[in-house]
Chains A and B, each alone.
Chain A
Amino acid sequence: MTKGYVTMVLHAHLPYVRHPESERVLEEKWFYEANTETYLPLIAIFNRLIRDGVPFKITLSLSPTLLSMWQDPLLQQRYLLYLRNLQELIDKELVRTANQPHLANIVKMYQHNIAEAYTLYHERYQDNLVNAFRDLEQSGQIELITCGATHGYLPLIGLQRGVVETQIKVALDYFHQVFGHHPRGFWLPECAYNPGDDAILAANGIEYFFVDTHGILYATPRPRYSIYAPIRCTSGVAAFGRDLETSRQVWSAQEGYPGDYDYREFYRDIAYELDDAYIAPFLHVPGLRSDTGLKYYRITGKTEHKAPYIPEHGRGQAALHAGNFMFNRERQVDYLAQHMDRQPLVICPYDAELFGHWWFEGPQWLEFLFRKAAFDQHIFQFTTPGEYLDRYPNNQPATPSMSSWGCNGYNEVWLEGSNDWIYRHLHQAGDTMVQLSKRFANATELETRALNQAARELLLAESSDWAFIMKTGTMVNYAVRRTTNHAGRFFRLADQLQNNCVDELWLEDVEAKDNLYPGIDYHSFTTS
């Protein structure tokens, strides 16, 4: 008999990176790599699980910027070129490694993976992965949700309520446009919760969101079930807390799975190992060595001398780790059920991009986990937050604590010496946008276009990704430029609107560059 439930949540997000002015912008490769290594492998395993009748359940948060990139014809076209280029490199590698069986075996694995990715992407889903998730959702086994329009860090950008409302409303409108219905849940970017933001979610029909462990543990009043059941905010929205034990077991240095020595080593890409002349045609940016995705070694140990990857061994470890994860959840749920007067729920949220891109065997691990849990045990079942709320609609009234899942649990990753300068401009732009939306309640067609574009530019400047990159110290120039350009375009548009001199030719150019959310409505900045 089922004693409790486990919810797997994958949050898939990339910032909006699209550069029509050049096909050689390195950051666009984030999107191509994530498609190849994370999203398509995940889609493949979900398809197999559904085909085989495995009763799994998963919650997927798809960010509006990622959905927009999947739908964009230019990026679709460029991704096909990327895949074909990779296939060509693999063909060449098959020849080069023909006399090195241990390497050739790995190249063949990549050949198979990329062929599967290509078939899924191009032939089955017509170059648009939104089609994949529409299909998968039909199975009833996948609950799709979304997050802030551009992944804005709500506790820090939300000086004006209209700014938070717009991040939420634009996201939900776009999700509805793409999938034909509103999501039941909402992923707060970086799990960053600010008490009161739930009221905006409630007003927009959202039933639940997630917070980090201490968001629930430090809730007021103290929650009866700790993190093993949702609490209900005064707005009526449910808050689910991340399980601590699961986070430790999967990711900790001592017990974590992804560092296993049989797993594929991320940092040994052939891009850095082959002759210039050989590798040059396959580099995304000419003359700059950057990952091709072909990595032939296993982690091996704490050594620079890496041994060749053996796919069968990596797969074997993924199966073992899935079994270990399942065993631990059985024990956990069994114990909790003995002490609770309802079925406990264990929430396991992760960034989707860890699966496949960083942890190469992650998708295999997930597939093994779902298969084993379905057939090898009866203690727990997988569920979604929506289903759990249907089962247990009466939850304890409590207010979660302000929290995030960033380093040290609060706002410091996105507010420190490297990135604090952005908020002066973001808040000023937010204030200006709110004023403009009031002043231009009834705008001309051209003004409406300029106002909607100003809204897009503000949203793009608000992406939490830029502050995070500034903090981590890699690709900082790009993050600074994106912030400056979007805020700069915003203020230029605001200035033209205020002076009644909108430059239509320039507006057209900016609309073409920052072209997401075609149905955006700037009125959302005028708070209700």
Chain B
Amino acid sequence: MWLFFAAILVVLVIGGVYLINRQTVILRKPVQLAENSEPIYQLPQNYGKDYIVLMVKDPYWLHAYWEITSTKHEDFLETFGSASWRDSQPVLRVYDVTNEDDFNPVNAPFYDIPVNDWAQNWYFKVGQASHSFYVDLGRILPDGRFTLLARSNMVTTPRDSVSTVIDPQWPPLEAVWQTLNLPNESLPYGLSSAELVKKGLVK
């Protein structure tokens, strides 16, 4: 993979005309700009929105990132009291909506993962391949009530094994499947070229 072509980053700015031994070549000059036309970019810490986004890492792990605005925070305090934020526990309420037709959280089984007030993202294990989930970010008040702050998109974890569903018109050919010699039905993942270079298998 191209990524390994070089080892260290160095950038030196040189403009204008370049002389090369074999032939003189004049390179085009960079566009002339007023000073400070390109700032040193810094991406914002926050976007001023209340949201939580759910992503799939692998068949067993999900990743969520979120943002809660100060407005939302203040609304919460106004509703539940000045100590309510401090006294409540932020959680990710994970809904397994695999068997839900309309993703209605009332019917879906769920469990809570405690997080903290400093985190803006979290990896968590759902341990269920080929299941569908979404997450509510909320807070559990001292009296046990759950208050929703933001609801995520829905994701589905990938399969981690051969399907048991058989199409009768296309029954699997066992002799062909046997050629794979799958150790315990699992595969030696990560045979991409880049991975092999990294592991030193490709010199």
Is A487 located at the chain interface by the 8 A CB criterion?
A: yes
* Interfacial residues of chain A within 227-277, with CB under 8 A of chain B in the complex: 227-228, 244-245, 247-248, 251-253, 256, 258-259, 263, 265-267
Q: Are A27 and B170 in contact (CB under 8 A)?
A: no
- Report if A218-B159 is in contact (Cβ < 8 Å); known contacts: A13-B2, A484-B43: yes
A29, B23: Cα distance in complex, Å: 20
Question: Cβ of B118 < 8 Å from any Cβ of A?
Answer: no
Binds B, one of A53-61, A130-138, A164-172, A464-472: A464-472
Contact mask B160-181 → A, CB, 8 Å, 1/0?
A: 1111111100111101110110
CB distance from A348 to the nearest CB of B (A): 12
Contact check, B203 vs A265: say whether CB atoms are below 8 A apart. Answer: yes
1/0 per residue, CB under 8 A from A, across B174-203: the answer is 011101101000011111111111110111
Known contacts A218-B161, A251-B202, A477-B9, A228 near B176 by CB under 8 Å: yes
Residues of B within 8 Å of A, CB-based: how many?
84
Q: Report A334-359 residues with CB < 8 Å from chain B CB.
A: 335-336, 338-340, 344, 350-351, 353-354, 357-359
The stretch among A74-82, A319-327, A445-453 that forms the contact with chain B is A74-82
Pick from A156, A226, A267, A415: contact of B172, CB below 8 A: A226
B187 touches A420 (CB 8 A): no
Stretch at the interface among A41-49, A101-109, A201-209, A282-290: A282-290
Secondary structure of the B side of the interface? loop
- Contact A410–B57 (Cβ < 8 Å): yes
- Give the contact-size bracket for chain A: 35 or more
Asked whether A159 and B53 contact (CB < 8 A) given A30-B2, A223-B172, A224-B171, the answer is yes
**Chain B residue with Cβ nearest A405:** B192
A8 to B38 Cα, complex, angstroms: 45
Among A85, A195, A267, A415, chain B packs the most CB atoms within 10 A around the CB of: A415
State A477–B31 Cα separation when bound (angstroms).
Answer: 25
CA distance A350 to B59 in the complex (A): 25
Stretch from A370-378, A384-392, A433-441, A502-510 that touches the partner: A502-510
Given the interface pairs A26-B10, A358-B4, A478-B9, the reply to whether A258 lies near B192 with Cβ below 8 Å is no
Interface string of A402-431 (1 = CB under 8 A from B): 110111111110011000100111011000
Would you list which residues of chain A between 466 and 490 have a CB under 8 Å from chain B? Answer: 468-469, 472, 474-475, 477-478, 484-485, 487-489
Which chain A residues numbered 486 to 502 have a C-beta less than 8 Å away from chain B? 487-489, 491-492
Supposing A224-B170, A410-B59 touch, asked if A219 and B163 sit within 8 A by C-beta, the answer is yes
Fill in one digit per residue for B34-69: 1 if any A CB lies within 8 Å of its CB, else 0. Answer: 100111011110010000010111110101010100
A interface residues, Cβ below 8 angstroms from B:
13-15, 19-27, 29-30, 33-34, 74, 77-78, 80-81, 84-85, 87-88, 155-156, 159, 190-191, 195, 212-214, 217-228, 244-245, 247-248, 251-253, 256, 258-259, 263, 265-267, 285-286, 288, 290-291, 299, 332, 335-336, 338-340, 344, 350-351, 353-354, 357-359, 396-398, 401-403, 405-412, 415-416, 420, 423-425, 427-428, 465, 468-469, 472, 474-475, 477-478, 484-485, 487-489, 491-492, 505-506, 508-510, 512
Hey, which bits of chain B sit against chain A, CB under 8 A?
Answer: 1-15, 18, 20-23, 25, 27-28, 30-31, 33-34, 37-39, 41-44, 47, 53, 55-59, 61, 63, 65, 67, 121, 153, 156, 158-167, 170-173, 175-177, 179-180, 182, 187-199, 201-203
Shortest 8 CB-CB contacts between residues of A and residues of B? A488-B41, A409-B189, A402-B158, A405-B192, A351-B193, A339-B175, A410-B58, A407-B190
